[in-house]
Structure 1
Amino acid sequence: MARKLLKRWMPDPTNVKKNPSLHFLGDLRHDPNLFHLNRHSVSVAFFVGVFCAFLPIPGQMPIAAIAALLVRCNLPLAVALVWISNPVTIPPIFFATYELGRWILQTPEIQFSIELSWEWVTTKLVKLWQPLLVGSLLSGIFFGTLGYVTMQLFWRWHVVSNWRKRQQMRNDTRENR
């Protein structure tokens, strides 16, 4: 069931491998672990995707893809999970990670408003980047690990549940004879 559920939303591996924009990966794109759905590859993909979602930098999807290639986990799932941080969720996520980093580093609170200008980057962002980075990395590690453990437990629970159902069905058919 868990595999079937995930497979329903996953892109077809042959289409992904044939994508011309991925030819630079060479033989890496033919690694079966990058598209395999098992407890290990899915759990590690959850860690990679959730961790990268908390990185306060642009280009989270390519970073997740490269990390998935390096650790040989499910590539499409790792890249898709990056969308936890999307235009709607980025402000509260990064505000919370900034506050966590500020609390850990014991830095004073800075009143600011975000502006898309070079002046804002050179004056305000210079003061904000350390707490934001520390909070983001710690949050990414925490929630990535939480996603990893949750998928490990969910997958195990699902397998045991299916074993018990099959065992119960076997017992029922024996009793009906």
Structure 2
Amino acid sequence: MSGWQRFGAWSRRNLPTRESMERNRLLRPVAHRVLAPELWRFTRRSVPRGVALGMIAGILVPVAQTAVAALFALPFRANVPTAALTTFITNPLTTPPIWVAAYWIGRWLLRLDAHVPGQPVADAAAHTGWIPWLMQAGPATALGLIVIAVVSAVAGYALSAFGWRVWIGRKWRHRHAKHG
């Protein structure tokens, strides 16, 4: 079995169903909206939107990512199953590297390692250990997560839109070769 076939089988096993969304207590107040048929159709516009929203929810939301992605799908008319499935981009294997990368990106963007003259309080605090590091790590990591989420969402949208076009093109070529 190839990698894509394994991924397809894993996706089918883990893809949320309308019934599982209906049973989700976090979604119960808006279940009638989340379960709207147009949000469950796989179209060339709704799937890339779902991928982008799933990336954002998966990276920025620490808990209930699937429910949040489903709620995000409502105003953007994105595909709910795709948004929910894409949140699995973060899991116990991928989250630590994402957070470390987020810290380094945020640190670089905030220029936290640059020395600013005339800051005696900051210079004195720099020698106290973990407290200054934690004070710098929070904002740096938050900024890095936002950057990673936005870049991942844009890349996910573009790749899924391109993948959709390739898939439809192959279907059309196969259909024309079969009947023509």
Shorter chain as normaliser: what TM range? 0.7 to 0.9
In structure 2, the partner of 1:106 is 111
Report the CA distance shift for 1:84/1:164 in structure 2 as closer, same or farther (over 3 A): same
In structure 2, the partner of 1:59 is 63
Pair 1:169-2:169 in alignment: no
Give the residue type in structure 2 aligned to 1:154: G
| Structure 2 unaligned spans of 5+ | 1-7, 115-129
C-alpha distance in structure 2 between counterparts of 1:146 and 1:74, whole Å: 17
Q: Show the 5 A alignment for 1:125-144.
A: 125-144=134-153
C-alpha distance in structure 1 between counterparts of 2:142 and 2:168, whole Å: 38
Give the residue type in structure 2 aligned to 1:74: N
Q: CA deviation at 1:124?
A: 4.7
Q: CA deviation at 1:20?
A: 6.0
C-alpha distance in structure 1 between counterparts of 2:171 and 2:72, whole Å: 32
Give the residue type in structure 2 aligned to 1:105: L
**Structure 1 length-normalised TM:** 0.75
In structure 2, the partner of 1:93 is 98
- Would the aligned equivalents of 1:53 and 1:60 in 2 still touch at CA under 8 Å? no
Q: How many residues align structurally?
A: 154
- Would the aligned equivalents of 1:60 and 1:82 in 2 still touch at CA under 8 Å? no
Q: Show the 5 A alignment for 1:41-56.
A: 41-55=46-60
Q: CA RMSD in A?
A: 2.5
In structure 2, the partner of 1:75 is 80
Report the CA distance shift for 1:103/1:18 in structure 2 as closer, same or farther (over 3 A): closer
Q: CA deviation at 1:36?
A: 1.4
Identity of aligned residues (%): 27
Report the CA distance shift for 1:131/1:16 in structure 2 as closer, same or farther (over 3 A): same
- Would the aligned equivalents of 2:110 and 2:140 in 1 still touch at CA under 8 Å? yes
- Would the aligned equivalents of 1:33 and 1:41 in 2 still touch at CA under 8 Å? no
| Structure 1 unaligned spans of 5+ | 110-119, 172-177
**Structure 2 length-normalised TM:** 0.73
Q: CA deviation at 1:40?
A: 1.3
